[in-house]
Amino acid sequence: MKHTDQQADPTPPRPVRDGVFLGLAVGTSGLAFGAAAVSSGLTAWQACALSLLAFTGASQFALVGAVAGGGSLIAGTAGAVLLGSRNALYGLRLADLIQVRGARRLVAAHGVIDETTAVTLAQPNAVAARAGFWATFASIYLTWNLATLAGALGAGRLGSPQSFGLDVVGPAAFLALIWPRLRAGRAERMVGLGGAVIALGTTPLLPAGVPVILAASAALAGALAVPGGRSR
Amino acid sequence: MSATWIAVLATAAGCYALKLAGLTVPQRILDNARARRFAELVPVALLAALTVVQAASSGSTLVVDPARLAGLGAAVLALLLRAPFLVVIVVAAGTAAALRAAGVH
């Protein structure tokens, strides 16, 4: 326990350990994706191709849902890609934190997703941010893809991830990782709360995934509250 | 190539293009104070939204899963006690798993 009244965290940053652990825990939900994909009529190859090449859970589930629903594949594809737009917003922030150029940027781009953003953002300095990004990316990429393959081959029937509480890992991790931001200021808390309310309020009204993108409007409102113009 | 394969590959290409677009936006845009503030706040808004959506919904339906909500509540408690990241996750998953093992659904 600290005896000072500093706001500093009591533990030093452990970006690699935290990132690897998060990747292992969240990546296992690839089992559910693989199983859902195959039961929707995709082949195991198609399920694996999505996890390897699209590598963003919300979009993958959306496409699988469209295939299962038997609707238009063009609309399904458009919806899945739309859901990927939040990764573009993450990239806007990550570009400054991970500082990648050239070929490394092409590789890094593939790893710009919720979990890597959350871990990178939670780090106190640039070195830890970069380490956190790559560790989380590697861990979740491997786990998500192996789990997709296993799920597509039927391993999902062995046991439910829910019985291990793995469905809470995502929400708990996201909350833990933005916690320092929420403590940083009133504006951050208002934006976080606003995003949560917007997303939850519109969940019954909109296709899955869209409410989370809509939550970005809370960030827009927060940004408009600061004086405009150039700085730096 | 089947229509499904085309949809799979088009989704993958679109998702990658969006990821790359975000990383490639000229950082000069962020010289604008409001644009920079937006980029800083977006992950907070989206990750807070994901937290509640994953905790309290399934597809487009709001659901109350007592074990899942209790797990998230335990995570909040651990965070207030300044527990390290791994402890927060283990406490959250452990709480939900224990409640389910005890028959809470």
Full DSSP string of chain B: --HHHHHHHHHHHHHHHHHHHHHHS-GGGGGBHHHHHHHHHHHHHHHHHHHHHHHHEETTEE---HHHHHHHHHHHHHHHTT--HHHHHHHHHHHHHHHHHTT--
Instruction: Judge if B76 and B105 occupy the same domain.
Output: yes
Residues B73 and B97 in one domain: yes
- C-alpha distance across the termini of chain A, in Å: 38
Mean pLDDT of the region A102-111:
96
Token pair for residue A133?
């990004």
Confidence of residue A17 (pLDDT cuts 50, 70, 90): very high
Beta-bridged to residue B32, according to DSSP, are A230
* Domains of chain A, residue spans: 15-158
User: Please, what sign has the CA dihedral across residues B69, B76, A60, A76?
Assistant: positive
Confidence of residue A155 (pLDDT cuts 50, 70, 90): low
Distance in Å, alpha carbon of A31 to nearest chain B alpha carbon: 17
CA distance B26 to chain A (A): 9
pTM above 0.80, yes or no: yes
Asked casually if ipTM beats, i.e. exceeds, 0.85, the reply is yes
* Overall average pLDDT of the A171-190 stretch: 91
Interface of A with B in 120-179 (CB under 8 A): 121-122, 162-179
DSSP code at position A196: H
Name the pLDDT band for B91 (thresholds 50, 70, 90): very high
- Model confidence at A228, in pLDDT bands (50, 70, 90)? low
User: What is the average pLDDT value for chain B, to the nearest integer?
Assistant: 93
Q: Are B69 and B58 in the same domain?
A: no
- Whole-number average pLDDT of chain A: 88
Of the partner residues A92, A110, A196, the one whose CB lies closest to the CB of residue B49: A196
Q: Please indicate, yes or no, whether residues B8 and B41 belong to a single structural domain of this protein.
A: no
Type of residue at A80: A
The closest alpha carbon to B93, from A204, A13, A178, A172, belongs to A172
Which is higher by pLDDT, A208 or B87? B87
**CB-facing half-sphere around the CA of A167: CA atoms within 13 A:** 21
pLDDT at A4: 41
User: B18 and B36, same structural domain?
Assistant: no
Range of the domain at B24: 1-28
Residue range A200-218: average pLDDT?
Answer: 92
Alpha-carbon torsion, ordered A32, A36, A39, A45, to 10 deg: -90
Quick one: B68 and B100 in the same domain? Answer: yes
Q: Does residue A87 belong to the interface with chain B, where contact is any CB pair within 8 Å?
A: yes
**What does the alpha-carbon distance between residue A95 and residue A132 come to, in Å, rounded to a whole number?**
14
Residues from chain B contacting residue A224 (CB–CB below 8 Å): 34
What's the pLDDT band for A67 if we cut at 50, 70, 90? Answer: confident
Work out how many domains chain B is built from and give that number.
Answer: 3
What's the pLDDT band for A156 if we cut at 50, 70, 90? Answer: low
Average pLDDT over residues A50-75: 89
Q: Are residues B40 and B55 both part of a single domain?
A: yes
How many beta carbons lie within 10 A of that of residue A212, not counting itself?
A: 27
